[in-house]
C-alpha cells in the first residue's frame, strides 16, 4: 500500500520549470513596480496627521448628520440614492439591446467583436471624464451625475448580460420549437424566464456599486454626496467629512445587506 502511494507520488506531474518561470516573472514585476514608491513626499508628522484625521472622523458633526434641510446628510444621501437608482435603471435598459447585439451565439462574429470592443471602450474611460462631458450638456448637478452613472453602468452591466445570454440553455428553445410555439411564445416562455433573474441580480449588484462610486461624481460637481465630502476633506473639516462618511457607510452597508438578500432569493428561484 505504502509503496503504491510512493510510486504515485513519484509519478506526480512535474511542472516546476513552468512554475519557476511564472514565479520569476511575478517577482521581477513586483520589484519593477517597487520603483514607483517614492517616500520623499512623506511628511515627518504623517502619523500625527493621520491621528488628527481619525479623531475628526470619529467625532462626526452631529448637526450636519441630523440636519433635515437640503444641505444635511439625509437629503444628500437621498439624492445619491436617486442618482444611483435611476442611473442603474437607465444603464440596464440601454445594456439589453447592446448585450444582445454583442452575444457571440446570436450575432455574427464580426458584429459581436465590434460590440464587445465598444463596451470595453465605454468601460475604460474614467467616470470623471464622462462627468465633465455631461456637465456641458446639462450643467452641474444631479442630472449630470445621473447620466454619468448610466454610461458607467452600461460598461459593466452589458458585459455581464452578454455572459448570461451566452449561457442560455438552447434545448428549451428547441423543445418549444418542437411543440410548435411562435417566436413570441419562445421569448416569453423560453428566454425571459432564463434571463430575468440574472438580469435583475446584475442590476441590483450594479446599484450597489453605483452607490459606492457616488463620491467620484462629487469631484466634478455632478451632484450627490461626493462634492460636500471632497470639499470638507480638502478644507480639513474632518468633523464634517466624518459625518458624511458615517452616513454613507451606514447606507452602503444597509443597501448591501438588502441587495444580498434579494439576490440570494433570485438565485434560488
Minimum CB distance to another protein, residue 177 (Å): 25
CA angle 98, 85, 156 (to 5 degrees): 35
60 three-class SS: coil
Stretch that binds another protein, among 100-108, 124-132, 170-178, 181-189 (CB under 8 A): 124-132
- Residue 96 in the binding site for another protein (CB under 8 A): no
Residue of the chain from 124, 178, 184, 269 that contacts another protein (CB under 8 A): 124
Distances in Å between the alpha carbon of 65 and those of 3, 60, 246, 250? 71, 8, 8, 12
- Residue 147 in the binding site for another protein (CB under 8 A): yes
- Residue 212 in the binding site for another protein (CB under 8 A): yes
Residue of the chain from 94, 133, 181, 187 that contacts another protein (CB under 8 A): 133
Q: Indicate the residue among 24 and 50 with the shorter CB distance to another protein.
A: 50
440574472: which residue's cell? 198
Residue of the chain from 2, 33, 69, 182 that contacts another protein (CB under 8 A): 33
CA angle 21, 23, 25 (to 5 degrees): 70
27 vs 20: CA distance, rounded Å = 10
Query: Phi/psi of residue 7, each to 5°?
Result: -65, -45
Q: Are 207 and 88 in contact (CB under 8 A)?
A: yes
Stretch that binds another protein, among 60-68, 97-105, 118-126, 174-182 (CB under 8 A): 118-126
79 vs 143: CA distance, rounded Å = 10
- What is the binding site for another protein (CB under 8 A)? 13, 29-30, 32-43, 46-47, 49-50, 53, 78-79, 81-83, 85-86, 89, 120-121, 123-129, 132-134, 136-138, 141-143, 145-147, 212-213, 215-216, 219, 223, 229-230, 233-234, 241, 245, 248-249, 252-253, 256
Amino acid at each position: 500500500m505504502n509503496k503504491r502511494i510512493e510510486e504515485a507520488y513519484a509519478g506526480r506531474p512535474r511542472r516546476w520549470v513552468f512554475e519557476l518561470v511564472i514565479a520569476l516573472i511575478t517577482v521581477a514585476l513586483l520589484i519593477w513596480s517597487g520603483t514607483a514608491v517614492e517616500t520623499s513626499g512623506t511628511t515627518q508628522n504623517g502619523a500625527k496627521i493621520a491621528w488628527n484625521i481619525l479623531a475628526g472622523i470619529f467625532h462626526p458633526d452631529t448637526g450636519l448628520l441630523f440636519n433635515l434641510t437640503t444641505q444635511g446628510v439625509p437629503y444628500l444621501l437621498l439624492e445619491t440614492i436617486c442618482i444611483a437608482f435611476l442611473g442603474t435603471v437607465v444603464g440596464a435598459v440601454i445594456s439589453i439591446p447592446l448585450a444582445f447585439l454583442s452575444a457571440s451565439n446570436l450575432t455574427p462574429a464580426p458584429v459581436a467583436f465590434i460590440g464587445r470592443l465598444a463596451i470595453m471602450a465605454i468601460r475604460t474611460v474614467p467616470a470623471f471624464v464622462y462627468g465633465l462631458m455631461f456637465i456641458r450638456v446639462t450643467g452641474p448637478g444631479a442630472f449630470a451625475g445621473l447620466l454619468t452613472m448610466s454610461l458607467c453602468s452600461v460598461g459593466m452591466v452589458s458585459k455581464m448580460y452578454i455572459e448570461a445570454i451566452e449561457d442560455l440553455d438552447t434545448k428549451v428553445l428547441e423543445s418549444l420549437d418542437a411543440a410548435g410555439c411562435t417566436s413570441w411564445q419562445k421569448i416569453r416562455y423560453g428566454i425571459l424566464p432564463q434571463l430575468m433573474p440574472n438580469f435583475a441580480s446584475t442590476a441590483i449588484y450594479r446599484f450597489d456599486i453605483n452607490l459606492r462610486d457616488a463620491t467620484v461624481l462629487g469631484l466634478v460637481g455632478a451632484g450627490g454626496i461626493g462634492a460636500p465630502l471632497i470639499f470638507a476633506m480638502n478644507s480639513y473639516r474632518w468633523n464634517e467629512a466624518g459625518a458624511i462618511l458615517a452616513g454613507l457607510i451606514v447606507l452602503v452597508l444597509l443597501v448591501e445587506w438588502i441587495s444580498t438578500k434579494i439576490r440570494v432569493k433570485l438565485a434560488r428561484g
